[in-house]
Chain A
Amino acid sequence: MSALAPEHALAPAPPTPPPVVLDLRSGLGFAARQRSAVQDFAEALRYRRLVWTLGSLDIRLRYRGSALGPFWLTLSTAIMVAALGLIYSRLLHEDLHSYLPYLALSMVLWNFVNTLVAEACLTFTQAEMLVRSLRMPFAVHAARVVVRNVLVLGHNVLVIVLVLAIFRVVPGPGALLAIPAFGLWLVDAFALCLLLGAFCARFRDIPPIVASVMQIAFFVSPIIWRPGLLHHAAWILPFNPFYTLFEILRGPVLGNLPGRLVWASALGYSAVLLAAAWLLFVRVRGRIAFWL
């Protein structure tokens, strides 16, 4: 090191990154891969400030320089709900007073689900730069997508509050059940980001397929129309994961508590999603970087 210049005095002690002990090897069995996946999640917890910062910067960057900022979302959702409400209450012969709160809730939640699913497909492909330039838990990228979409949802919830206030719908104590339901949604959303993110990184033609599935789901599920309209065919509804997952969140707020069957279906489908996401993530976590 003789060729280097003499020691240079720096005023503040320069920051050092936290120490790591990295031991990466090939040919691990399933149990060892599960430990690596758990470690990925545990490390992601240490990055929670980064997750929050990335998620909120995504929103801020999208709307930097616009006057209303993210409230453009609120405004466009409000206009859509009003327009759809006026038309569809006629088409479906619904009473506006009870239909509009239902529609506002359904549409805001649907926008959340639809955008989340679309962005879940890009979880890792969009983070390509980051993934390829430093080691970071993959769960960070999934959590970032969830945080970003929950922040957008937070802005749109204003529309629901407004509609409920206009039509004087006061949620009863049963509405508290919406809290665990939303917790389940968050867990599902995270799992979906891991699952679709990894799958779409490997198979690049999946996102358009996912988009068409979501479009079909929108029309065959009670989002715009009410489940009661199915009359004798209503027995089929609990088989639709979109219906039951919506119902556990929508029902408590509007004052009709979902039954056991609905909850069982929502929890069952969630369990399947979580298991699938876990198995895939455990299997491919170490390969994602190679696919980008």
Chain B
Amino acid sequence: MATVQAEELAIEFPLYHASARSLKKTVLAAASGRLGQDTQHRVVVQALRDISFRLESGDRMALIGQNGAGKTTLLRALAGVYEPTRGRVRIRGTVNALLDPSLGMNPELTGRENVMLRGLYAGLDARGIARLEEDVRSFAGLGDFMELPVRIYSSGMSVRLAFALATAIRPEVLMMDEWFLAGDAAFLERARVRLEDMVRGAEILILSTHMMPIVEAWCTRVIWMEQGRVRADGPTADVLGAYLAADHAAAAAQQANAA
């Protein structure tokens, strides 16, 4: 029984390389409203503010919002990369967070060594790594190239390897950043089936994306983020409708301004 829970979660990034009183800082702070000071009067960027939600088995949640709204930071905080500046994050279950497309892909290492490293990152034992290797080998279809450095692979081959690796480890809690759906990843029918298989196998899905058709097809709940806060949280149809309406309104206003 997997659960993911965030309670009044806040993440703040310290800015160490400028003084709190510089002119530029004051201007920036006024412009974005997201710079603040922490308790020790250091300048911080408030990447996430006051985020609370709870996910249980069967929940499929999408994070939507503009670039810089805090979607990726929230995923990183849920994955335990950033520990809360305020609030709390609780996760129970096996976790796989697909945050960085190049993780475990060192171009100087062979395909096989990359697979082994990825298995070790995921905390697999020797048997798990053997199965991982078998799975990736059969899906990516690289044959003898598995013994050669990834550096010499064609771009198609490295995409196949990266995709096979990322989708080979099946967790209960799956976190995916949008890079994973973008571009050529959904290229083959075979790849789509495998990806959906992993998504279906997960008890909880948290997906950060701009691709609304995917949100509609996969997700039952949507959190709309704006400037590090939750702007709306609810069933897919409701939040998505509001988001798209706001998006259209903003686009229309922009056009009116331009005209």
Question: Within B96-138, which residues are at the interface with A (CB < 8 Å)?
Answer: 96-97, 99-100, 102-103, 106, 108-109, 113, 116-117, 119-124, 128-129, 131-132, 134-135, 138
User: A24 is contacted by which of B10, B84, B216 (Cβ under 8 Å)?
Assistant: B84
Q: How far is the CA of A253 from the CA of B216 in the complex (A)?
A: 71
User: A22 is contacted by which of B91, B113, B192, B217 (Cβ under 8 Å)?
Assistant: B91
Q: Do A134 and B103 contact each other (CB < 8 Å), given the known contacts A1-B200, A15-B128, A16-B171?
A: yes
Give the shortest distance, in Å, between B182 (CB) and chain A (any CB). Answer: 17
Max count, chain A CB within 10 A of own CB: residue among B13, B82, B123, B134: B123
Say if the beta carbon of A57 comes within 8 Å of chain B: yes
Q: How far is the CA of A23 from the CA of B93 in the complex (A)?
A: 12
* Closest B residue by C-beta to A202: B16
Cβ–Cβ contact A61 & B108, under 8 A: yes
Cβ–Cβ contact A4 & B199, under 8 A: yes
Cβ–Cβ contact A3 & B218, under 8 A: yes
Cβ–Cβ contact A133 & B81, under 8 A: yes
Q: How far is the CA of A103 from the CA of B54 in the complex (A)?
A: 64
Q: Do A290 and B14 contact each other (CB < 8 Å), given the known contacts A1-B218, A25-B88, A135-B79?
A: yes
Among A45-53, A79-87, A155-163, A210-218, the one that faces the other chain is A45-53
Q: How far is the CA of A186 from the CA of B15 in the complex (A)?
A: 35
Cβ–Cβ contact A23 & B122, under 8 A: no
Cβ–Cβ contact A15 & B168, under 8 A: yes
* Closest A residue by C-beta to B87: A26
Count CB-based A-B contacts (< 8 Å).
154
Say if the beta carbon of A173 comes within 8 Å of chain B: no
Among A6-14, A70-78, A190-198, the one that faces the other chain is A6-14
With a cutoff of 8 Å between Cβ atoms, the chain A residues found around residue B80 in the complex are 22, 24, 135
Cβ–Cβ contact B123 & A4, under 8 A: no
Cβ–Cβ contact A23 & B90, under 8 A: yes
Q: How far is the CA of A65 from the CA of B41 in the complex (A)?
A: 52
Cβ–Cβ contact B108 & A26, under 8 A: no
Q: Contact residue range for chain B? A: 35 or more
Question: Within B134-175, which residues are at the interface with A (CB < 8 Å)?
Answer: 134-135, 138, 168-172
Cβ–Cβ contact B116 & A53, under 8 A: yes
Q: Contact residue range for chain A? A: 35 or more
Say if the beta carbon of A257 comes within 8 Å of chain B: no
Cβ–Cβ contact B131 & A20, under 8 A: no
Say if the beta carbon of B85 comes within 8 Å of chain A: yes
Q: Do A15 and B132 contact each other (CB < 8 Å), given the known contacts A22-B80, A132-B100?
A: yes
* Closest A residue by C-beta to B133: A15
Say if the beta carbon of A131 comes within 8 Å of chain B: yes
Question: Within B199-245, which residues are at the interface with A (CB < 8 Å)?
Answer: 199-201, 216-218
User: B103 is contacted by which of A14, A20, A133 (Cβ under 8 Å)?
Assistant: A133
Q: How far is the CA of A47 from the CA of B97 in the complex (A)?
A: 18
Q: How far is the CA of A53 from the CA of B106 in the complex (A)?
A: 13
Say if the beta carbon of B83 comes within 8 Å of chain A: yes
With a cutoff of 8 Å between Cβ atoms, the chain B residues found around residue A12 in the complex are 131, 134-135
Say if the beta carbon of B196 comes within 8 Å of chain A: yes
Q: How far is the CA of A12 from the CA of B132 in the complex (A)?
A: 9
Cβ–Cβ contact B81 & A14, under 8 A: no
Say if the beta carbon of B24 comes within 8 Å of chain A: no
Question: Within B171-203, which residues are at the interface with A (CB < 8 Å)?
Answer: 171-172, 192-194, 196-197, 199-201
With a cutoff of 8 Å between Cβ atoms, the chain A residues found around residue B193 in the complex are 5, 8
Q: How far is the CA of A61 from the CA of B169 in the complex (A)?
A: 26
Identify the 6 closest CB pairs spanning chains A and B, nearest first: A135-B80, A133-B100, A286-B83, A3-B217, A50-B120, A25-B88
Can you list 21 A-B pairs, Cβ within 8 angstroms, ordered by A? A4-B196, A4-B218, A8-B194, A14-B169, A14-B201, A15-B128, A15-B168, A17-B123, A19-B94, A20-B91, A20-B92, A24-B84, A24-B89, A25-B84, A26-B10, A47-B120, A64-B108, A130-B121, A289-B83, A290-B14, A290-B82
Residues of chain A at the chain B interface (Cβ within 8 Å): 1, 3-5, 7-8, 10-27, 46-47, 49-50, 53-54, 57, 61, 64, 129-136, 202, 286-287, 289-291
Residues of chain B at the chain A interface (Cβ within 8 Å): 10, 13-14, 16, 60, 76, 79-97, 99-100, 102-103, 106, 108-109, 113, 116-117, 119-124, 128-129, 131-132, 134-135, 138, 168-172, 192-194, 196-197, 199-201, 216-218
